[in-house]
Structure 1
């Protein structure tokens, strides 16, 4: 028994001695830097430093000019990202998302400089990049503050945008209740409102412009979107007439039910109220849905033709005849002595990108 005990003690002592030796050896190895990894200098160190110096010494960019694209910086950044997408679409998409989600106007330049550093041996990329840069260096006379859509350069347009934005909730509510993209309703609204800039110039100067509000019509055409009384009655009938080509379904039948025994008076109040313009958007929304349904039943899909829908809104049910080659047009609108058509104005707005945040482009234009 004593012998076994002695063996255990010796074993225990030897183990601790070995551990102690190891710890002591490690201590001295660390103390005298015997375990240090000498590392290595990256062979691209000089290029990394040049890139850092470029970023640190880059001139400050006017963020207002950058984000409004009144200088070439942002356009050139997007051009480079697009070019990178031809070679490495994955990285181009990452950079595009990073730039769009950042408020730093020089971020794109930093990220693209790193890409240029990695792509320096790609001759095709470098060659295309040089060609693209030459395009931006070529002197072109242009007005950076003007819209390509000429009528949008008038001062009244900014007032109208503010006024429309004030009704965003009403427009959205009516649109989603009817199953129509809100932006298409706004096309019709703009066509009607901008027509008043000349025909009711004094009213605009006195009320609409200073107050940034929409004009509510109360005579032949009614409300902010100019719905005619007989058109409103036709919309109401079409909701309940299941055999009509304009019938859009049972779920919509009671959307325009009246709450009084005097429908003519109630309808007029709906379409001319200054306090609540919800119905002034619901009627146009339902009209658009009914006309789109009529054409779809005739195997002509115009859901992706906002200019045709806007034209049909202007000319009314009587002129809505489904056919292969519908024409854009409608009433002539004079804007600062230049003539446009109602449908043409709708086209311009829809594809201009104006108010795209407030009234975005939806994948589906109509739904049930």
Structure 2
């Protein structure tokens, strides 16, 4: 075949290809223009359900707030019910609601699930019971804290002050294996009685600067350690025969750097710039009395109120027994009297400052 014939055939092929491309492009243009390619679609099988859901009274009420007195309870109840059948979906709704606190969106999440649950009579009956609960919920809502002493202005000042020490308390918790929230709990007992708006020192220094009250006389530092208690804590760290001995790895936690021990002890406990030793002495004491009681056969490792009471009354009153009593110093706050142990207990389980001082992963307040 000659070169001319090859060139001629190639040219014809190229022209045909371009012609076909042009034809398809033109056809596509007119098909789109004339709506020939439009998918007419279909009405969803559940369209009626979607319409009914959109007309729900709660979605039509423009004045409905995201959260009302009963709405949270309804959502949490329905989540609890759903968890019996579909725990994964229950957790997804729980996480979303806790993050947004949006009642309407939570209800819509349940509406979406009901596409698959509407024929489940058992779960629907339980969901319907939420409406009955809502109608029967009565009582006067109180927006203040049920722990009355946490409603005072001084408590707000204390929280701002202690948050500054979060890293220090965490560090001591790591060194001693004592729950950071337990350490904070005994601090609460010591500080709240000093957070008195009628006292000159509070008005002049503590409240304006949002700092912790520092004791320098009978008790020392922010955690109120007495000198003789500090000496006992140091001694028991190294006395292997003592019931308070907590182990070799802790023996050197309170070693002194100078020969003037009395002066160094005082300065380390009242140091207003660094509260490390104030928390360290407190944590070690708690661990020592816990170990003493465990050795005697009485586990108080999850008894915040007892540990706090012992912290307040000291080693001399730490006598292991089957029925320990909660108490300690009487602290008067706004006309009501509390005990040291009860204040620590109420704070620990109040949920206040839970981000800064979380609960331990297990029920025990000590890791070892």
Greater mean alpha carbon deviation, residues 156-165 or residues 43-52: 43-52
What is residue 360 of structure 2 aligned with on the other side?
362
Q: Given the alignment, which residue of 130, 133, 137 partners 1:132?
A: 130
Q: Deviations over 1:161-184 (max 9, x none)?
A: 111111111111112111100000
C-alpha change, 1:82 and 1:162, in structure 2 (3 Å) is: same
Q: In 1, Cα distance between the equivalents of 2:128 and 2:201? A: 55
Q: In 1, Cα distance between the equivalents of 2:155 and 2:73? A: 25
Give ranges in structure 1 of 5+ residues lacking alignment. Answer: 1-19
C-alpha change, 1:320 and 1:200, in structure 2 (3 Å) is: farther
1:96 aligns with 2:94: yes
C-alpha change, 1:143 and 1:45, in structure 2 (3 Å) is: closer
Greater mean alpha carbon deviation, residues 311-320 or residues 54-63: 54-63
Paired residues of 2:290 and 2:299 also in contact (CA < 8 A): yes
What is residue 12 of structure 1 aligned with on the other side?
none
Q: Given the alignment, which residue of 157, 164, 173 partners 1:159?
A: 157
Q: SS at 1:352's partner residue?
A: coil
1:332 aligns with 2:330: yes
Paired residues of 2:154 and 2:197 also in contact (CA < 8 A): no
Q: SS at 2:80's partner residue?
A: helix
In the comparison of the two structures, how many residue pairs are matched? 353
What is residue 46 of structure 2 aligned with on the other side?
44
Q: Given the alignment, which residue of 283, 288, 291 partners 2:289?
A: 291
What is residue 234 of structure 2 aligned with on the other side?
236
C-alpha change, 1:62 and 1:233, in structure 2 (3 Å) is: farther
What is residue 3 of structure 1 aligned with on the other side?
none
Poorly superposed stretches of 4+, deviation over 6 Å: 31-39
Deviation at 1:253, TM superposition (A): 0.7
Deviation at 1:73, TM superposition (A): 2.9
Give ranges in structure 2 of 5+ residues lacking alignment. Answer: 1-19
Paired residues of 1:197 and 1:335 also in contact (CA < 8 A): no
TM-score normalized with structure 1 length: 0.83
Q: In 1, Cα distance between the equivalents of 2:313 and 2:117? A: 57
Q: In 2, Cα distance between the equivalents of 1:182 and 1:276? A: 17
Paired residues of 1:51 and 1:114 also in contact (CA < 8 A): no
**Over aligned residues, Cα RMSD in angstroms?**
3.4
TM-score normalized with structure 2 length: 0.83
Greater mean alpha carbon deviation, residues 299-308 or residues 109-118: 109-118
Q: SS at 2:349's partner residue?
A: helix
1:353 aligns with 2:351: yes
